[in-house]
Structure 1
Amino acid sequence: MSAADSHETDAKTQARSAGLHYVDRSMPGITRRRAGRGFALYAPDGSHIVDPVIIARIRRLAIPPAYRNVWICPDPKGHLQAVGEDARGRLQYRYHPLWQGVRDEGKFGHMLVFGEKLPLLRERVDQDLRRHRLDRERVLAAIARLMERTMARIGNDRYAKENRSYGLTTLRHRHATVHGRHLTLDFRAKHGIEQHLELDDPRLARVVSRLEDLPGQRLFQYVDAEGVQPVRYESQGEEAAC
């Protein structure tokens, strides 16, 4: 069995455990078409949807009007509820709330494995924090150190854009203050919780101080042959850039 097949089998098992059906957008779905100021919805067989229950479910998905080629799952218990293309042509996903919950439980299992490897990871982080260049490895080491010391969420661009809530990879320069070996982070996290984090870590403070000198608003960026690059984590697209 390939890695892709194994991943799909695990996902189907997780969906069943949450009382959901594992689906993909290759199956016939609900589509939408512009109608006046809003959209008309059409079932996979082409019939116009007027059922208020179906319409209410789709409205709760809060699919932005600007999304193109929108596919909506006809099954209210589908683990994946909608997919659309944003203005940049990137696929954006809307999942069932129960799927998000079961995936979070799965992450806990991964954390147990992570705990077994923690000593080696700490050694690698220490080594990378000593690097001279502000490259990808050094910046990721700084994020890893922060995650371990603060237990802060990793963050993703969608929450930062839509909710003005931040995680480590989406922090802005204004969220960080460095005084010598001391680093302070003040930001609004998920669910609007205000975070005030203080750390006494000279290597970490040194990295963040240099990051503050880079152009742009994002705090965690790295420098490679092509210039300054942001560190991103996109959970909705099932893709991790870091």
Structure 2
Amino acid sequence: MRADSLLQGIRRVDEQGKRLLAVRTFSDPNPAWRVDVAMATLVDVAELLRAGAPFPPRLVEETCARPVKFEFQPDGGTRKTGTGIDSQKRDDLVRRVLEVGYERGQATIERLEPDVADRVAADDRFETVDSRVFVPLSASAPYARNWRPLIRTALERLEDVLDDFRRIVSRVQASGAAGALTIGCESIVEMLETLSIVVRRADADTRYVRDRTDHRQGELLSTIEDATTQIRSDDNA
């Protein structure tokens, strides 16, 4: 699993929200289609997170990226290589890559600042295929440590998307649009709220708790799919 996939899912929901906020009327089929896309994408995001639950995995805190080594220079001197980078700086680097991917669709070496690209090349928490940079996730180091910056990035983005869809619900209700569209938008807000709860709890774990993981993550995430199934059943009734 990759952090990029999760954030691209949130990005797609974000895009649907921005388009819905821009529409002038909710009477044509396009808004309903965008609501369906957003709901289906949220189910995909929830399934990806549930596959990784409980998260984040518990690991001994890492304090440096690589052991310090010395490289002999032609002039007889030495140069440090693999110099340790503290954990927070490494998390910030992961977040920067994730932010570029979110803003521009994907993170590539060319789209990163030169100093960021150099640090990415020297850090074992990334994978690079051709010029594209990926942020893998796993239950073991080094990729397990990518959960923490992913969680914080996802939480910020989810809060923004949630604000947009709350505004959309208000507009849809005020417009007197069809009941199905209103129910769909309200359900997306509930789904986003559930995701935010799960991610916020995981964020609290990374900040304050060493030995506890939220084992209700899978249960909460499954409610997102259940809600979608119920709505579709009602529509087909």
TM norm. shorter chain > 0.5? no
- More relative contact order in 1 or in 2 (CA 8 Å, sep 6+)? 2
* Structure with the higher strand share, 1 or 2: 1
Question: TM-score, normalised on structure 1?
Answer: 0.28
Question: TM-score, normalised on structure 2?
Answer: 0.28
* Structure with the higher helix share, 1 or 2: 2
